[in-house]
Chains A and B, each alone.
Chain A
Amino acid sequence: MKPRPKSPGWNVLGLLPAQLIMLLTLIIPVGIIVLVSFSTRGPYGGFDFVFTTAPYKQILFNEGWTGELEFNPQYLIVVGRTLVLSLVTTAICTVLSFPVAYFISLQRASVKMMLIYLVTLPFWVSMIVRVYSWIIILGNDGVIAKALRALGLVDNMGSLLFTDTAMLVGLVYSYIPLMILPVFASIEKLDSALVEASHDLYGSRLTTLRRVILPLCKPGMMAGAILVFVPCLGAVLEPTLLGGGKTMMMGNLIQLQFGAARNWPLGAAISIVLMSAVLIFLMWRGLQAVRREGREGDV
């Protein structure tokens, strides 16, 4: 007879499949990525495990014919572009999300439901289709180009595609629903009496927004920032389809190494850099959260 509805035996049994799958298909393989990143490139792709730091050097340097190292910023630019684009995307998503989320929270319950449904809907629609739609819009012969031409504003503009801006538009479009939802949730939690109290205490609309509403929505924005920033860092579709071959991000650079370029060790090394960036960001966020809890705990 078991003394407990759920004894520790059941606990282990219930968790085992999930933990085992993660261990075998993710945790151990990530360990292998680290190994590969310190390996030599195999003759036909793949890798031979002969320890070397060459893949990491390769991110920064070109090896000349005689073996001397020559600084080459091409990959560093990709890393930098990835970071900047991800940060800018997160910032734009945050700024755009707040008014929309706030607007939604003011609506009647049924309208609110409908609008939230409309915000989440594109997220269910195939990612590749959504990114593709921007090719039609931004393309050489695309909707925007034609509209501008029809208005006689621009005669023959260059393509809007294959630029950083195009990638940015695509990234914001792809991930903004992930920002709106947590921001909306935090606005919903906000007691409307607080807004009234601020006005009662002679706060203007702007003061109320700046000193009451926004600070209280910060946790939601921070949660949204994680949800947007992390997938942006690893984005593949947006840079591949909207950025073209010249303006790469880390995601499609990695993909390239495991595909056409057949340089697994370099791909693994870039993967490690990408993963480190994500982990540093998450740890920084976690630390902030802990510190905030600590501060509130003191009160």
Chain B
Amino acid sequence: MSDANVRRYPGFNLFSLLFFVYLYLPIAVVIFYSFNANRIVANWGGFSLHWYTTALSNTALMDAVKTSLLVASIATMVSTVVALMAALVLVRGREVRFRRVSETVVNLPLLLPEIVVAVAVLILFSQLGLTNGLLKLTIAHTTFCIPFAFLPIRARLQGMDADLEEAARDLYASSWVAFRRVTLPLILPGVFAGAMLAFVISMDDFITSSLLNSGGATTLPVYIFSLIKQGVSPQLNAISTLIMIVSVALATVAFLLQRRQ
């Protein structure tokens, strides 16, 4: 007990409690008002699921969801494969030249403010004369998703005992067999976590998507932004709540995956 006493600081408990309230109150407010029957958000008009049905039958919203899902899926797949390859070389490769620089390049999108990344791809696409909105979004999303996929995979690889790969090679496994039967199964949670992170980052992206928003590809956050610009509405709260439910489900899966050693 005396150990705990020495390490505890008075007030930290209350402070932390208030902090978690601060963290979750805004989210709770949105969820609460999404069940408000009244058209005016701040005036409580009784419980209703009306806005959820409106949201789910909103075709513009559904189109945006489809666009986002399509872009995020492709960007996630490509970026995860690319990140996995890079991580294998950077963590396990022998005599890799320019290892530090290479790693910085892979993580470059994290070092630059996203608006600069967005401006860069915008100018690039305009110079190339690329007009297909979906293609533009997919390329841009793949780029900034790579480091998010890379970091969990790298962490997992670094945490994995290199002896295991040597043991596999020692037991007559070729490089490919060692990768498929030992390395990949062991880093799979990291690969999943990376893919999940990339997916969420892509789904959530506003800055790049809104700057590239032409050629008929409106993503979910860009659509929500346009709704917010029209003013606070209960339907917006319902959409937000739906998004949060999906995000929380994804986050939980990712969290459990990473916890499983």
**Taking the complex as a whole, does A directly touch B, i.e. does some CB pair lie under 8 Å apart?**
yes
A4, A22, A30, A192: the one within 8 Å of B116 (CB): A30
Q: Does A17 contact B (CB under 8 A)?
A: yes
Q: How far is the CA of A237 from the CA of B142 in the complex (A)?
A: 21
Q: Which chain A positions have C-beta within 8 A of B165?
A: 5
Q: Which of A4, A13, A192, A233 contacts B94 (CB 8 A)?
A: A4
Binds A, one of B52-60, B184-192, B199-207: B199-207
- Chain B residues closer than 8 Å to A126, beta-carbon distance: 203-204, 221, 224, 240, 243-244, 247
Q: A5-B175, A130-B27, A136-B30 are in contact. Are A30 and B240 (CB under 8 A)?
A: no
Residues of A within 8 A of B237 (CB): 136
Does B139 make an interface contact (CB < 8 A)?
A: yes
What are the residues of chain B within 8 A of A11 when measuring CB–CB? 89, 93-97
**Chain A residues near B83 (CB-CB < 8 A):** 18
The answer to whether A119 touches B119 (Cβ under 8 A) is: no
Per-residue 0/1 for A262-298: is the Cβ within 8 Å of any B Cβ (1 yes, 0 no)?
0010011001001100100010000000000000000
Taking a contact as CB atoms under 8 Å apart, the answer to whether B240 and A271 are in contact is: no
On chain B, the residues within 8 Å of A139 by CB distance are: 42, 232
Q: How many angstroms between the C-alpha atoms of A69 and B123 in the bound complex?
A: 29
Instruction: Determine the chain B residues whose CB is within 8 A of the CB of A25 once the complex forms.
Output: 120-121, 124, 139-140, 143
- A143 and B123 contacting across the interface, CB-CB below 8 Å: no
Interface of A is mostly: helix
Chain B interface size, under 10 / 10 to 19 / 20 to 34 / 35 or more: 35 or more
Q: Are B228 and A132 in contact (CB under 8 A)?
A: yes
- B85 close to A18 (CB less than 8 A): yes
Partner of A241, one of B106, B140, B228: B228
Q: Are A33 and B119 in contact (CB under 8 A)?
A: yes
A27 at the interface (CB under 8 A from B): yes
Interface string of B126-161 (1 = CB under 8 A from A): 110000000000011011001000100000000000
Give the residue name and chain of the A residue nearest to B212 (CB): A258
The 5 closest A-B pairs by CB, nearest first: A234-B113, A29-B120, A133-B26, A124-B251, A14-B89
16 extra A-B contacts, CB within 8 A, seeds A11-B96, A230-B113, A234-B113: A8-B95, A15-B86, A25-B140, A26-B108, A33-B119, A96-B19, A102-B12, A106-B7, A120-B251, A125-B247, A125-B248, A130-B27, A135-B232, A230-B111, A234-B207, A241-B225
